[in-house]
Structure 1
Amino acid sequence: MPLAATFSATLMTKDGVRIDAAHTPSRGDAGLGIVLAHGFTGSWREPTTRRIAHVLSGFGGVVAFDFRGHGRSGGLSTVGDAEVLDMDAAVVHARSVGYARVATVGFSMGAAVAVRHAALHGGTDAVVAVSGPARWYYRGTRPMRQVHWAIEKAPGRLAARLAKRTRIRSTSWDPVPLAPHEAVARVSPAPLLIVHGDADHFFPLEHAHQLFEAAREPKELWIEPGYGHAESAATPDLVRRIGRWISRLSPAREVDR
Protein backbone atom coordinates (compact mmCIF):
# COMPACT_ATOMS: atom_id res chain seq x y z
CA MET A 1 0.00 0.00 0.00
CA PRO A 2 1.43 3.46 -0.89
CA LEU A 3 2.07 5.88 1.93
CA ALA A 4 -0.77 8.23 2.83
CA ALA A 5 -0.64 11.71 1.32
CA THR A 6 0.99 14.39 3.45
CA PHE A 7 0.69 18.16 3.33
CA SER A 8 3.66 20.29 4.27
CA ALA A 9 3.39 23.07 6.83
CA THR A 10 5.65 25.66 8.37
CA LEU A 11 5.18 26.30 12.08
CA MET A 12 6.57 29.05 14.29
CA THR A 13 7.59 28.47 17.90
CA LYS A 14 7.03 30.92 20.72
CA ASP A 15 10.73 31.82 20.62
CA GLY A 16 10.65 32.48 16.88
CA VAL A 17 12.11 29.31 15.37
CA ARG A 18 10.71 28.10 12.05
CA ILE A 19 9.70 24.42 12.16
CA ASP A 20 9.29 22.19 9.10
CA ALA A 21 6.23 19.96 9.52
CA ALA A 22 3.77 17.76 7.66
CA HIS A 23 0.13 16.81 8.20
CA THR A 24 -1.14 13.36 7.24
CA PRO A 25 -4.96 13.48 7.48
CA SER A 26 -6.73 10.84 9.50
CA ARG A 27 -7.90 7.63 7.87
CA GLY A 28 -9.50 6.63 11.17
CA ASP A 29 -10.88 8.89 13.90
CA ALA A 30 -11.44 12.35 12.43
CA GLY A 31 -11.33 13.93 15.88
CA LEU A 32 -7.99 12.47 17.01
CA GLY A 33 -4.64 14.06 16.22
CA ILE A 34 -1.26 12.45 16.84
CA VAL A 35 1.89 14.56 17.05
CA LEU A 36 4.91 12.48 16.03
CA ALA A 37 8.39 13.45 17.28
CA HIS A 38 11.58 11.90 15.90
CA GLY A 39 14.81 11.07 17.71
CA PHE A 40 18.12 12.94 17.71
CA THR A 41 19.47 13.46 14.14
CA GLY A 42 16.15 12.21 12.71
CA SER A 43 13.57 13.85 10.49
CA TRP A 44 9.91 13.44 9.57
CA ARG A 45 11.09 13.11 5.97
CA GLU A 46 13.04 9.90 6.61
CA PRO A 47 11.36 6.75 5.27
CA THR A 48 11.16 5.09 8.69
CA THR A 49 9.36 8.07 10.23
CA ARG A 50 7.04 8.43 7.24
CA ARG A 51 6.06 4.76 7.52
CA ILE A 52 5.28 5.23 11.21
CA ALA A 53 3.14 8.28 10.35
CA HIS A 54 1.32 6.25 7.70
CA VAL A 55 0.43 3.48 10.16
CA LEU A 56 -0.64 5.93 12.86
CA SER A 57 -2.85 7.80 10.38
CA GLY A 58 -5.11 4.75 10.40
CA PHE A 59 -6.08 5.82 13.91
CA GLY A 60 -5.90 9.62 13.73
CA GLY A 61 -4.41 12.49 11.81
CA VAL A 62 -0.65 12.82 12.20
CA VAL A 63 1.37 16.02 12.54
CA ALA A 64 5.05 15.15 12.16
CA PHE A 65 7.79 17.74 12.38
CA ASP A 66 11.54 18.30 12.49
CA PHE A 67 12.98 19.57 15.73
CA ARG A 68 15.00 22.79 15.61
CA GLY A 69 18.43 22.27 14.11
CA HIS A 70 17.20 19.20 12.20
CA GLY A 71 16.49 18.86 8.50
CA ARG A 72 14.73 21.92 7.08
CA SER A 73 13.79 23.45 10.44
CA GLY A 74 15.59 26.56 11.59
CA GLY A 75 17.61 27.16 14.71
CA LEU A 76 20.07 24.94 16.54
CA SER A 77 19.42 21.74 18.45
CA THR A 78 19.48 22.03 22.23
CA VAL A 79 19.10 18.23 22.52
CA GLY A 80 15.84 18.13 24.47
CA ASP A 81 15.63 21.51 26.22
CA ALA A 82 14.01 24.19 24.01
CA GLU A 83 12.56 21.44 21.83
CA VAL A 84 9.49 21.47 24.07
CA LEU A 85 8.58 24.69 22.23
CA ASP A 86 8.80 22.87 18.90
CA MET A 87 6.43 20.18 20.14
CA ASP A 88 4.10 22.81 21.54
CA ALA A 89 3.91 24.47 18.12
CA ALA A 90 2.99 21.09 16.59
CA VAL A 91 0.30 20.44 19.23
CA VAL A 92 -1.16 23.91 18.63
CA HIS A 93 -1.16 23.20 14.89
CA ALA A 94 -2.95 19.89 15.41
CA ARG A 95 -5.65 21.70 17.36
CA SER A 96 -5.89 24.43 14.72
CA VAL A 97 -6.64 21.95 11.91
CA GLY A 98 -9.56 20.58 13.89
CA TYR A 99 -8.42 17.72 16.12
CA ALA A 100 -10.33 17.84 19.39
CA ARG A 101 -8.02 15.35 21.11
CA VAL A 102 -4.25 15.32 20.66
CA ALA A 103 -1.75 12.66 21.70
CA THR A 104 2.02 12.96 21.43
CA VAL A 105 4.30 10.10 20.39
CA GLY A 106 8.04 10.59 20.78
CA PHE A 107 11.00 8.37 19.99
CA SER A 108 14.30 8.59 21.91
CA MET A 109 15.03 12.34 22.29
CA GLY A 110 11.48 12.90 21.08
CA ALA A 111 10.26 10.72 23.95
CA ALA A 112 12.08 12.92 26.46
CA VAL A 113 10.58 16.00 24.82
CA ALA A 114 7.07 14.50 24.84
CA VAL A 115 7.30 13.84 28.58
CA ARG A 116 8.77 17.25 29.33
CA HIS A 117 6.27 19.05 27.08
CA ALA A 118 3.27 17.41 28.78
CA ALA A 119 4.72 18.23 32.19
CA LEU A 120 5.65 21.84 31.45
CA HIS A 121 3.09 22.95 28.85
CA GLY A 122 0.18 20.49 28.98
CA GLY A 123 -2.40 20.57 26.23
CA THR A 124 -2.11 16.85 25.42
CA ASP A 125 -4.65 14.10 26.00
CA ALA A 126 -2.14 11.22 26.04
CA VAL A 127 1.63 10.74 25.85
CA VAL A 128 3.63 7.85 24.38
CA ALA A 129 7.37 7.74 25.12
CA VAL A 130 9.28 5.17 23.07
CA SER A 131 12.95 4.30 23.77
CA GLY A 132 13.34 7.41 25.88
CA PRO A 133 16.03 8.36 28.41
CA ALA A 134 15.10 8.86 32.03
CA ARG A 135 18.00 11.15 32.85
CA TRP A 136 20.57 13.38 31.19
CA TYR A 137 24.29 12.79 30.58
CA TYR A 138 23.99 9.00 30.34
CA ARG A 139 27.19 7.50 28.91
CA GLY A 140 26.80 3.87 29.92
CA THR A 141 26.68 2.48 26.36
CA ARG A 142 29.01 2.95 23.41
CA PRO A 143 26.31 4.56 21.20
CA MET A 144 25.59 7.14 23.90
CA ARG A 145 29.28 7.93 24.26
CA GLN A 146 29.29 8.58 20.52
CA VAL A 147 26.22 10.81 20.86
CA HIS A 148 27.95 12.86 23.55
CA TRP A 149 31.00 13.23 21.32
CA ALA A 150 28.72 14.59 18.57
CA ILE A 151 27.11 17.04 20.99
CA GLU A 152 30.09 18.21 23.04
CA LYS A 153 33.03 18.27 20.62
CA ALA A 154 33.48 20.57 17.63
CA PRO A 155 34.51 17.70 15.28
CA GLY A 156 31.43 15.78 16.42
CA ARG A 157 29.11 18.70 15.73
CA LEU A 158 30.67 19.12 12.30
CA ALA A 159 30.16 15.42 11.56
CA ALA A 160 26.51 15.62 12.65
CA ARG A 161 25.93 18.63 10.42
CA LEU A 162 27.56 17.09 7.37
CA ALA A 163 26.26 13.54 7.74
CA LYS A 164 22.81 14.08 9.24
CA ARG A 165 21.98 17.76 8.58
CA THR A 166 21.76 18.26 12.35
CA ARG A 167 23.04 21.61 13.64
CA ILE A 168 23.83 21.50 17.35
CA ARG A 169 24.31 24.46 19.69
CA SER A 170 27.90 24.66 20.91
CA THR A 171 27.09 26.05 24.36
CA SER A 172 26.08 23.78 27.25
CA TRP A 173 22.80 23.93 29.13
CA ASP A 174 22.49 26.79 31.62
CA PRO A 175 20.49 26.00 33.64
CA VAL A 176 20.22 22.24 33.21
CA PRO A 177 16.61 21.50 32.18
CA LEU A 178 14.31 19.31 34.22
CA ALA A 179 15.17 15.69 33.44
CA PRO A 180 12.45 13.33 32.17
CA HIS A 181 12.32 11.32 35.40
CA GLU A 182 11.90 14.57 37.34
CA ALA A 183 9.14 15.80 35.04
CA VAL A 184 7.18 12.63 34.37
CA ALA A 185 4.94 12.80 37.46
CA ARG A 186 3.45 16.02 36.04
CA VAL A 187 2.14 14.23 32.93
CA SER A 188 -0.82 12.97 34.99
CA PRO A 189 -3.80 13.12 34.61
CA ALA A 190 -3.03 12.51 30.92
CA PRO A 191 -2.48 8.77 30.28
CA LEU A 192 1.16 7.82 29.77
CA LEU A 193 2.53 4.84 27.83
CA ILE A 194 6.23 3.99 28.14
CA VAL A 195 7.58 1.59 25.49
CA HIS A 196 11.10 0.18 25.66
CA GLY A 197 12.95 -2.72 24.09
CA ASP A 198 15.02 -5.22 25.99
CA ALA A 199 17.57 -5.05 23.16
CA ASP A 200 17.95 -1.25 23.23
CA HIS A 201 21.65 -0.54 22.67
CA PHE A 202 21.38 3.16 23.61
CA PHE A 203 19.35 3.15 26.85
CA PRO A 204 19.03 -0.04 28.92
CA LEU A 205 15.75 -1.00 30.57
CA GLU A 206 16.66 0.82 33.79
CA HIS A 207 15.63 4.05 32.04
CA ALA A 208 12.12 2.77 31.31
CA HIS A 209 11.71 1.49 34.86
CA GLN A 210 12.95 4.77 36.35
CA LEU A 211 10.44 6.72 34.28
CA PHE A 212 7.58 4.36 35.09
CA GLU A 213 8.28 4.35 38.83
CA ALA A 214 8.37 8.16 38.92
CA ALA A 215 5.17 8.56 36.88
CA ARG A 216 1.68 8.76 38.34
CA GLU A 217 -1.41 6.92 37.20
CA PRO A 218 -2.78 6.44 34.62
CA LYS A 219 0.34 4.79 33.19
CA GLU A 220 1.45 1.66 31.35
CA LEU A 221 4.84 0.11 30.67
CA TRP A 222 5.49 -2.16 27.69
CA ILE A 223 8.79 -4.03 27.64
CA GLU A 224 9.19 -5.31 24.09
CA PRO A 225 11.26 -8.52 23.63
CA GLY A 226 13.93 -8.17 20.96
CA TYR A 227 13.10 -4.53 20.22
CA GLY A 228 16.10 -2.30 19.66
CA HIS A 229 16.04 1.47 19.64
CA ALA A 230 13.54 4.07 18.43
CA GLU A 231 12.12 4.50 14.92
CA SER A 232 14.50 2.26 13.01
CA ALA A 233 13.54 -0.79 15.08
CA ALA A 234 9.80 -0.10 15.38
CA THR A 235 7.77 -2.73 13.52
CA PRO A 236 4.38 -1.98 11.94
CA ASP A 237 2.82 -4.30 14.53
CA LEU A 238 4.26 -2.30 17.42
CA VAL A 239 3.15 0.99 15.84
CA ARG A 240 -0.36 -0.42 15.33
CA ARG A 241 -0.52 -1.45 18.99
CA ILE A 242 0.51 2.06 19.97
CA GLY A 243 -2.19 3.44 17.67
CA ARG A 244 -4.80 1.21 19.27
CA TRP A 245 -3.70 2.35 22.74
CA ILE A 246 -4.07 5.99 21.70
CA SER A 247 -7.43 5.35 20.06
CA ARG A 248 -8.90 4.49 23.46
CA LEU A 249 -9.33 8.25 23.74
CA SER A 250 -12.21 7.84 21.32
CA PRO A 251 -12.84 4.37 19.91
CA ALA A 252 -13.33 4.46 16.15
CA ARG A 253 -13.29 2.06 13.24
CA GLU A 254 -9.81 0.89 12.42
CA VAL A 255 -8.89 1.11 8.74
CA ASP A 256 -6.47 -0.89 6.65
CA ARG A 257 -2.88 0.24 6.92
Structure 2
Amino acid sequence: MRVENISFKSDGINIVGKLYVPVNEPKPKPTICVCHGIPSPVKTEEDRGYPALAEKFVEEGFVTLIFNFRGTGFSEGKFNYFGWTQDLYSALDFLCSRREVDGEKLAVVGFSGGAVVSIYVAAKDKRVKAVALGACPAYTKETMKEFVKVIVESGRMGSLRGKTETYATKKVYEDVLKLMPTKWIGKISPRPVLIVHGEKDELVNVDDAFRLYSKAKEPKKIVIIPDAQHKLRLNKKAVETFIDWLKEKLNS
Protein backbone atom coordinates (compact mmCIF):
# COMPACT_ATOMS: atom_id res chain seq x y z
CA MET A 1 0.00 0.00 0.00
CA ARG A 2 0.96 3.63 -0.43
CA VAL A 3 0.44 6.06 2.46
CA GLU A 4 0.35 9.79 1.75
CA ASN A 5 0.34 12.58 4.33
CA ILE A 6 -2.37 14.99 3.20
CA SER A 7 -4.03 18.22 4.25
CA PHE A 8 -7.00 20.27 3.11
CA LYS A 9 -8.78 23.43 4.21
CA SER A 10 -12.10 23.57 6.09
CA ASP A 11 -13.44 27.02 6.99
CA GLY A 12 -9.86 28.21 6.46
CA ILE A 13 -8.60 25.69 9.04
CA ASN A 14 -5.86 23.27 8.04
CA ILE A 15 -7.10 19.69 8.43
CA VAL A 16 -4.45 16.96 8.45
CA GLY A 17 -4.73 13.28 7.63
CA LYS A 18 -3.40 10.27 5.77
CA LEU A 19 -4.58 8.73 2.51
CA TYR A 20 -4.07 4.98 2.11
CA VAL A 21 -4.06 3.64 -1.45
CA PRO A 22 -3.77 0.03 -2.65
CA VAL A 23 -0.63 -0.45 -4.75
CA ASN A 24 -0.77 -1.32 -8.45
CA GLU A 25 -4.34 -0.10 -8.81
CA PRO A 26 -4.52 2.10 -11.92
CA LYS A 27 -8.31 2.44 -11.88
CA PRO A 28 -10.32 4.47 -9.32
CA LYS A 29 -11.29 2.33 -6.35
CA PRO A 30 -14.14 2.16 -3.84
CA THR A 31 -13.27 4.57 -1.04
CA ILE A 32 -13.84 4.86 2.70
CA CYS A 33 -13.72 8.08 4.71
CA VAL A 34 -13.18 7.29 8.40
CA CYS A 35 -14.49 9.67 11.09
CA HIS A 36 -13.10 9.40 14.61
CA GLY A 37 -14.96 10.26 17.80
CA ILE A 38 -13.89 12.40 20.75
CA PRO A 39 -10.21 11.45 21.15
CA SER A 40 -9.43 9.44 24.24
CA PRO A 41 -6.81 11.07 26.46
CA VAL A 42 -5.50 7.61 27.36
CA LYS A 43 -3.91 5.25 24.82
CA THR A 44 -3.06 1.62 25.53
CA GLU A 45 -0.16 -0.33 24.02
CA GLU A 46 -2.44 -2.48 21.89
CA ASP A 47 -4.24 0.55 20.46
CA ARG A 48 -2.45 1.65 17.28
CA GLY A 49 -5.21 4.10 16.54
CA TYR A 50 -7.03 4.60 13.26
CA PRO A 51 -3.99 3.85 11.06
CA ALA A 52 -4.35 0.17 12.00
CA LEU A 53 -7.99 0.22 10.87
CA ALA A 54 -7.10 2.04 7.64
CA GLU A 55 -4.49 -0.62 6.86
CA LYS A 56 -7.13 -3.34 7.19
CA PHE A 57 -9.48 -1.49 4.85
CA VAL A 58 -6.79 -0.88 2.23
CA GLU A 59 -5.75 -4.55 2.35
CA GLU A 60 -9.29 -5.31 1.17
CA GLY A 61 -8.87 -2.98 -1.81
CA PHE A 62 -10.40 0.25 -0.48
CA VAL A 63 -8.79 3.66 -0.78
CA THR A 64 -9.07 4.97 2.79
CA LEU A 65 -8.85 8.44 4.32
CA ILE A 66 -8.30 9.09 8.01
CA PHE A 67 -8.04 12.64 9.31
CA ASN A 68 -8.17 14.69 12.50
CA PHE A 69 -11.22 16.88 12.97
CA ARG A 70 -10.58 20.51 13.94
CA GLY A 71 -9.25 20.93 17.45
CA THR A 72 -7.78 17.42 17.56
CA GLY A 73 -4.52 15.73 16.67
CA PHE A 74 -2.36 17.56 14.12
CA SER A 75 -5.23 19.58 12.64
CA GLU A 76 -5.58 23.25 13.46
CA GLY A 77 -8.46 25.06 15.13
CA LYS A 78 -10.46 24.67 18.30
CA PHE A 79 -12.95 21.94 19.10
CA ASN A 80 -16.42 22.71 17.76
CA TYR A 81 -18.72 19.74 17.35
CA PHE A 82 -20.96 21.22 14.66
CA GLY A 83 -17.83 22.50 12.91
CA TRP A 84 -16.87 18.86 12.42
CA THR A 85 -19.65 18.62 9.83
CA GLN A 86 -17.84 21.14 7.63
CA ASP A 87 -14.62 19.18 8.09
CA LEU A 88 -16.35 16.08 6.75
CA TYR A 89 -17.83 17.98 3.79
CA SER A 90 -14.30 19.23 3.05
CA ALA A 91 -12.90 15.71 3.37
CA LEU A 92 -15.41 14.52 0.77
CA ASP A 93 -14.39 17.41 -1.50
CA PHE A 94 -10.78 16.33 -1.12
CA LEU A 95 -11.53 12.69 -1.91
CA CYS A 96 -13.61 13.54 -4.97
CA SER A 97 -10.67 15.54 -6.33
CA ARG A 98 -8.39 12.50 -6.28
CA ARG A 99 -7.90 10.28 -9.32
CA GLU A 100 -7.59 7.18 -7.09
CA VAL A 101 -11.15 7.61 -5.80
CA ASP A 102 -14.29 6.23 -7.44
CA GLY A 103 -16.75 8.96 -6.51
CA GLU A 104 -19.69 6.65 -7.21
CA LYS A 105 -18.47 4.20 -4.56
CA LEU A 106 -17.77 6.40 -1.56
CA ALA A 107 -18.68 5.34 1.99
CA VAL A 108 -18.33 7.02 5.37
CA VAL A 109 -17.45 4.96 8.44
CA GLY A 110 -17.96 6.88 11.68
CA PHE A 111 -17.30 6.00 15.29
CA SER A 112 -19.02 7.39 18.39
CA GLY A 113 -19.22 11.20 18.08
CA GLY A 114 -17.85 10.92 14.54
CA ALA A 115 -20.72 8.58 13.68
CA VAL A 116 -23.19 11.31 14.63
CA VAL A 117 -21.41 13.72 12.28
CA SER A 118 -21.43 11.02 9.58
CA ILE A 119 -25.21 10.64 9.83
CA TYR A 120 -25.82 14.38 9.52
CA VAL A 121 -23.55 14.85 6.51
CA ALA A 122 -24.73 11.70 4.73
CA ALA A 123 -28.35 12.80 5.12
CA LYS A 124 -27.52 16.01 3.26
CA ASP A 125 -24.74 14.98 0.84
CA LYS A 126 -25.64 12.44 -1.83
CA ARG A 127 -21.98 11.84 -2.64
CA VAL A 128 -22.04 9.46 0.33
CA LYS A 129 -23.28 6.14 -1.05
CA ALA A 130 -23.21 4.10 2.18
CA VAL A 131 -22.85 4.82 5.91
CA ALA A 132 -21.45 2.49 8.57
CA LEU A 133 -21.77 3.50 12.22
CA GLY A 134 -19.82 2.18 15.19
CA ALA A 135 -20.89 2.82 18.80
CA CYS A 136 -23.08 5.73 17.76
CA PRO A 137 -24.96 7.59 20.52
CA ALA A 138 -28.62 8.49 20.14
CA TYR A 139 -28.17 11.30 22.70
CA THR A 140 -30.59 10.43 25.44
CA LYS A 141 -30.28 12.40 28.69
CA GLU A 142 -28.00 9.65 30.01
CA THR A 143 -25.76 9.73 26.94
CA MET A 144 -25.54 13.53 27.01
CA LYS A 145 -24.29 13.56 30.59
CA GLU A 146 -21.54 11.12 29.64
CA PHE A 147 -20.71 13.09 26.49
CA VAL A 148 -20.23 16.32 28.45
CA LYS A 149 -17.93 14.51 30.89
CA VAL A 150 -15.85 13.13 28.01
CA ILE A 151 -15.47 16.58 26.39
CA VAL A 152 -14.37 18.19 29.64
CA GLU A 153 -11.93 15.40 30.50
CA SER A 154 -10.47 15.28 26.98
CA GLY A 155 -9.95 19.04 27.11
CA ARG A 156 -8.20 18.83 30.45
CA MET A 157 -5.93 16.06 29.19
CA GLY A 158 -5.09 17.92 25.96
CA SER A 159 -6.72 15.67 23.36
CA LEU A 160 -9.27 18.42 22.58
CA ARG A 161 -8.16 22.03 22.11
CA GLY A 162 -10.13 25.15 23.00
CA LYS A 163 -12.23 26.24 25.96
CA THR A 164 -13.83 22.83 26.32
CA GLU A 165 -15.36 23.37 29.76
CA THR A 166 -17.15 26.53 28.60
CA TYR A 167 -18.20 24.82 25.36
CA ALA A 168 -19.44 21.71 27.18
CA THR A 169 -21.70 23.73 29.46
CA LYS A 170 -22.96 26.39 27.05
CA LYS A 171 -22.85 25.34 23.40
CA VAL A 172 -22.66 21.56 23.18
CA TYR A 173 -26.40 21.10 23.77
CA GLU A 174 -27.18 23.53 20.95
CA ASP A 175 -24.87 21.62 18.60
CA VAL A 176 -26.26 18.23 19.59
CA LEU A 177 -29.80 19.44 18.89
CA LYS A 178 -28.67 20.40 15.37
CA LEU A 179 -26.96 17.04 14.87
CA MET A 180 -29.55 14.84 16.63
CA PRO A 181 -28.94 11.47 14.92
CA THR A 182 -32.45 10.11 15.49
CA LYS A 183 -33.72 13.06 13.43
CA TRP A 184 -31.33 12.65 10.49
CA ILE A 185 -30.69 8.92 10.13
CA GLY A 186 -34.01 8.30 8.36
CA LYS A 187 -33.07 10.81 5.66
CA ILE A 188 -30.13 8.70 4.43
CA SER A 189 -32.44 6.20 2.70
CA PRO A 190 -32.45 4.83 -0.01
CA ARG A 191 -28.71 4.61 0.63
CA PRO A 192 -27.77 1.79 3.02
CA VAL A 193 -26.93 2.15 6.72
CA LEU A 194 -25.06 -0.28 8.96
CA ILE A 195 -25.26 0.07 12.75
CA VAL A 196 -22.64 -1.83 14.78
CA HIS A 197 -22.54 -1.70 18.57
CA GLY A 198 -20.81 -3.50 21.39
CA GLU A 199 -23.05 -5.45 23.73
CA LYS A 200 -21.00 -4.20 26.69
CA ASP A 201 -20.23 -0.66 25.51
CA GLU A 202 -19.14 1.19 28.64
CA LEU A 203 -19.79 4.70 27.24
CA VAL A 204 -22.83 4.43 24.95
CA ASN A 205 -25.52 1.98 26.04
CA VAL A 206 -26.39 -0.64 23.45
CA ASP A 207 -30.02 0.54 23.65
CA ASP A 208 -28.93 3.59 21.63
CA ALA A 209 -28.21 1.31 18.66
CA PHE A 210 -31.78 0.04 18.67
CA ARG A 211 -33.13 3.59 18.98
CA LEU A 212 -31.19 4.57 15.87
CA TYR A 213 -32.21 1.42 14.03
CA SER A 214 -35.89 2.14 14.72
CA LYS A 215 -35.51 5.60 13.14
CA ALA A 216 -33.47 4.45 10.13
CA LYS A 217 -35.23 3.42 6.94
CA GLU A 218 -34.46 0.56 4.61
CA PRO A 219 -31.98 -0.63 3.53
CA LYS A 220 -30.61 -0.93 7.07
CA LYS A 221 -28.79 -3.50 9.17
CA ILE A 222 -27.88 -3.76 12.85
CA VAL A 223 -25.17 -5.98 14.33
CA ILE A 224 -24.56 -6.26 18.08
CA ILE A 225 -21.11 -7.65 18.87
CA PRO A 226 -21.18 -9.94 21.95
CA ASP A 227 -18.93 -8.81 24.83
CA ALA A 228 -17.55 -5.89 22.78
CA GLN A 229 -16.98 -2.49 24.39
CA HIS A 230 -16.81 1.04 22.98
CA LYS A 231 -13.65 0.94 20.85
CA LEU A 232 -14.99 -1.27 18.08
CA ARG A 233 -11.98 -0.65 15.83
CA LEU A 234 -10.05 -2.86 18.26
CA ASN A 235 -12.60 -5.68 17.97
CA LYS A 236 -11.84 -8.24 15.24
CA LYS A 237 -15.47 -9.28 14.77
CA ALA A 238 -16.62 -5.67 14.46
CA VAL A 239 -13.95 -4.84 11.87
CA GLU A 240 -14.85 -7.96 9.88
CA THR A 241 -18.50 -6.89 10.00
CA PHE A 242 -17.64 -3.47 8.57
CA ILE A 243 -15.45 -4.95 5.83
CA ASP A 244 -17.97 -7.58 4.71
CA TRP A 245 -20.79 -5.03 4.54
CA LEU A 246 -18.70 -2.43 2.72
CA LYS A 247 -17.60 -5.01 0.16
CA GLU A 248 -21.22 -5.93 -0.45
CA LYS A 249 -22.43 -2.35 -0.81
CA LEU A 250 -19.51 -0.76 -2.69
CA ASN A 251 -18.51 -3.62 -4.97
CA SER A 252 -22.01 -4.51 -6.18
User: Normalized against structure 2, the TM-score is what?
Assistant: 0.83
Count, aligned residues? 235
Other-structure match for 2:64: 62
Aligned alpha-carbon RMSD (Å): 2.5
Moved more, 27-36 or 59-68: 27-36
Is 1:41 matched with 2:39? yes
Contact preservation (8 Å) 2:85, 2:121: yes
3-state secondary structure, aligned to 1:195: strand
CA distance in structure 2 between the partners assigned to 1:136 and 1:67 by the alignment: 24
Is the CA contact 2:143–2:204 (under 8 Å) kept in the aligned structure 1? Answer: no
Between Structure 1 and Structure 2, the one with more helix by share is: 2
Pairing partner for 1:11 from 3, 8, 11: 8
Q: Offset at 1:71?
A: 0.6
Which residue number corresponds to residue 75 of structure 1? 77
Q: Trace 1:159-178 onto structure 2 (pairs within 5 A).
A: 159-161=156-158, 164=159, 166-167=161-162, 169=164, 170-171=166-167, 172-173=171-172, 174=174, 176-178=177-179
Structure-2 residue corresponding to 1:255: none
1:251 offset after TM fit, Å? 3.1
Give matches, 1:1-257, under 5 Å.
4-13=1-10, 15-26=11-22, 30-41=28-39, 47-57=48-58, 58-79=60-81, 81-98=82-99, 99-100=101-102, 101-135=105-139, 138-139=142-143, 145=146, 147-151=147-151, 156=153, 158-161=155-158, 164=159, 166-167=161-162, 169=164, 170-171=166-167, 172-173=171-172, 174=174, 176-231=177-232, 233-235=234-236, 237-251=237-251
Contact 2:151 2:160 in 1 (8 A): no
**Unaligned 5+ runs, structure 2:** 42-46
| Contact 1:78 1:168 (8 Å CA) reproduced | no
2-structure distance, mates of 1:168, 1:62: 32
Q: 1:137 to 1:74 in 2, by over 3 A?
A: farther
Q: 1:207/1:249 Cα in 2 relative to 1: closer, same or farther (>3 Å)? A: same
Please identify, of 115-124 and 208-217, the stretch whose mean Cα deviation from structure 2 is larger: 115-124
Any idea what SS the aligned residue of 1:134 has? coil
Secondary structure of the corresponding residue to residue 249 of structure 1? helix
Structure 1 residues 122 and 42 mapped into 2: Cα distance closer, same or farther (>3 Å)? farther
Contact 1:126 1:191 in 2 (8 A): yes
* Cα distance in 1, alignment partners of residues 163 and 111 from structure 2: 19
- SS of residue in 1 equivalent to 2:53: helix
Classify the secondary structure of the residue corresponding to 1:132: coil
Q: Per-residue deviation at 1:97?
A: 1.2
Shift of 1:232: 5.4
Per-residue deviation at 1:83? 0.8
Q: Distance in 2 between matches of 1:191 and 1:243?
A: 14
Identical counterparts, % of pairs: 23
1:78 is displaced (CA, Å) by: 2.0
Stretch of structure 1 that moved more, 60-69 or 113-122: 113-122
- For structure 1, the residue ranges without an aligned partner over 5 or more in a row are 253-257
Question: Deviation of residue 178 (structure 1)?
Answer: 3.1
- CA gap of 1:212–1:157, structure 2 versus 1, over 3 A, is closer
